[in-house]
Structure 1
Amino acid sequence: MKKSAFLLPILAVIVVGIMSSVFIVDEREKALVLQFGQIKQVKETPGLGFKLPLIQEVVRYDDRILSRDLEPLEVTPSDDRRLVVDAFARYRIANVEQFRRAVGAGGEEAAARRLDSILRAETREVLGSVTSNDILSVDRAALMLRIRNSAIAEAQALGLQVIDVRLKRTDLPIENLNATYERMKAERDREAADEKARGEEAAQRIRAGADRTVIELVSDAERQSQIIQGEADARRNNIFASAFGADPEFFEFYRSMTAYERSLRPGNSTMVLSPDNEFFNYLKSDQGASASE
């Protein structure tokens, strides 16, 4: 009985010692075995690990991809239009031993704060080298890539791997919104006035061209009309001349009938002439001028 009473505490101490010397690392984490603050063992693969009980301790770090939202940051692009930028980063602990030496006992929260400082500085530097239109445009993937690449080197000193940096939102400061809106409105009004002026100029050119074309067409038509009319008059005169040459008496009779038709119209038939006037030769006789001889 005395021997068993003596062995039980010893066995209990041995069991507790064995259990405290074993630790488990799962696939989502990495672990360091520390002895008086010094790194004695790095455990990056999942499974069982061993340490000295009481003397050594295990510190665990997340091995997954982590996200970090930055506080809204005010930047000044190259055109001096201030912008408020919201961004976030995705990163992971790549070198757990270097990570421990860089941040000490502060752990992941201390590393996140230092990463914030790096990202804020790189964001200000990259966005300060371009215009606000480049930042506000939909095609700003190149800017985010530049921020990430610039932050990678500094983050490596912390044992971190920066995987991605994204700009979530870029807005103007509230106090600048109205002034910017008025400036944009004035620019759009100026562009609209320029477009309207160019349209009026083009319309005037089109109208002038159309008027010139009308004048040319009308002039050409009148010229052709006069040519045709002149040719018709010439043909008529030729016909009259031929008729006069064939039968002068008949031609004289035709001319007298035409003159009677034009002169003796309703409302215009009063004429004062001497009785022997030649105008009425064919009214006196169908022989005309030969009847009076």
Structure 2
Amino acid sequence: MSSRNMTIMIIVALLVFVGSNSLYVMKETERGVLLKFGEVVNPDIQPGLHWKIPFVNNVRKFDGRVLTVDSQPERFFTQEQKALIVDSYAKFRVKDTTKFYTATNGEEARAMGLLSQRINDGLRNQVAVRTIQEVVSGERDQLMIDLAELLNDVALTELGVELVDVRVKQIDLPPDVSESVYRRMNAEREKEAREHRSQGQELAEGIEAAADREVTVIKANAYRDAEQIRGSGDAEATRIYADAFNQDPEFYSFTRSLKAYQESFQGQGDVLLVQPDSEFFRYLKDSQGGK
């Protein structure tokens, strides 16, 4: 290879090297800053193809999409000094590229770490002024709204990021107090169950007493009505008997004597001692009854 060809190849290689270090592309999903000897000279590079001076300018690119920082669960104390384990996360994106670069050196991991610390500090302050009931259910949404408003200004001022949202994923009791809380809740539920059972027993006894009283009244009324009906029937039967027997008193006396004879001599070993001229043998002596 001649020296001329070698020189041409070297020039071409230099041109390719300078061209590759002079041109860069900024994507739609990226944010970036243009540096000149480490100083920010363009904090808002627009998407597209751009050029820079090799060895003088440098470009730092950041992800411009919404990012997620997942904080580690932390122990916080409520207003009544009850411990809670709170697990949270936040959504953010780069807003002020100059502030973001100077605060984090353009490192997303460092930005997430700093933002996570501020979220935990904000959560600690918000939980400390609320009761455990308010944190768990009563004012949980309001807690996140207040925290997002407070942290958004801090995050933008200190880190150059916009806080899109802050959410609490889970709230748990620490393991060392979960058992005692469970026992207390169990005792409260048992107490409530006993109260319900005693109220039910009292109500049942009242219903049973009312039913027994009603049964007694119904039976008494039924017995009274039955006795009245029975008395009326007996009176009617007596009247009918009396009317029937008054039509022939002698026949009635005769049938009564026969019935007395039948009942007196039912057993084979029965013995009856009476006077022969007793009234008992009236119809045995004379079928006409002495007439």
TM > 0.5: yes
Whichever residue aligns with residue 112 of structure 1, its letter is M
SS in 1 for 2:82: coil
Aligned to 1:26: 27
Q: 1:145-184, aligned counterparts within 5 Å?
A: 147-157=147-157, 158-184=159-185
Pick closer, same or farther for the CA change 1:175–1:240 going to 2, 3 Å: same
* CA distance in structure 2 between the partners assigned to 1:6 and 1:187 by the alignment: 92
* CA distance in structure 1 between the partners assigned to 2:12 and 2:264 by the alignment: 158
Deviation at 1:274, TM superposition (A): 4.4
Deviation at 1:150, TM superposition (A): 4.6
Whichever residue aligns with residue 23 of structure 2, its letter is V
What's the % identity of the aligned pairs?
A: 33
Whichever residue aligns with residue 205 of structure 1, its letter is G
* CA distance in structure 2 between the partners assigned to 1:119 and 1:268 by the alignment: 117
* CA distance in structure 2 between the partners assigned to 1:282 and 1:81 by the alignment: 112
Q: Which whole-Å deviations, capped at 9, do the CAs of 1:76-130 have from their partners, x for residues lacking one?
A: 23554322122222222133244345x2636434432331133113323444455
Pick closer, same or farther for the CA change 1:278–1:133 going to 2, 3 Å: farther
Aligned to 2:215: 214
* CA distance in structure 2 between the partners assigned to 1:84 and 1:125 by the alignment: 14
Count of residue pairs the alignment pairs up: 287
Aligned to 1:47: 48
SS in 2 for 1:154: helix
Q: Which whole-Å deviations, capped at 9, do the CAs of 1:12-43 have from their partners, x for residues lacking one?
A: 87775554333222233211112355432134
Aligned to 1:118: 118
Pick closer, same or farther for the CA change 1:36–1:189 going to 2, 3 Å: same
Whichever residue aligns with residue 122 of structure 1, its letter is G
* CA distance in structure 2 between the partners assigned to 1:189 and 1:169 by the alignment: 28
Pick closer, same or farther for the CA change 1:144–1:266 going to 2, 3 Å: farther
1:86 is the counterpart of 2:120: no
Pick closer, same or farther for the CA change 1:273–1:82 going to 2, 3 Å: farther
Which ranges in structure 1 are unaligned for 5 or more consecutive residues? Answer: none
Deviation at 1:186, TM superposition (A): 1.6
Q: 1:52-91, aligned counterparts within 5 Å?
A: 52-78=53-79, 80-91=81-92
* CA distance in structure 1 between the partners assigned to 2:130 and 2:271 by the alignment: 100
- What TM-score do you get using the length of structure 1 for normalisation? 0.77
C-alpha root-mean-square deviation of aligned residues, in Å?
3.9
* CA distance in structure 2 between the partners assigned to 1:178 and 1:58 by the alignment: 56
SS in 1 for 2:65: coil
Bigger drift between 18-27 and 181-190 goes to: 18-27
Whichever residue aligns with residue 118 of structure 1, its letter is R
* CA distance in structure 2 between the partners assigned to 1:223 and 1:273 by the alignment: 45
Bigger drift between 58-67 and 145-154 goes to: 145-154
SS in 1 for 2:55: coil
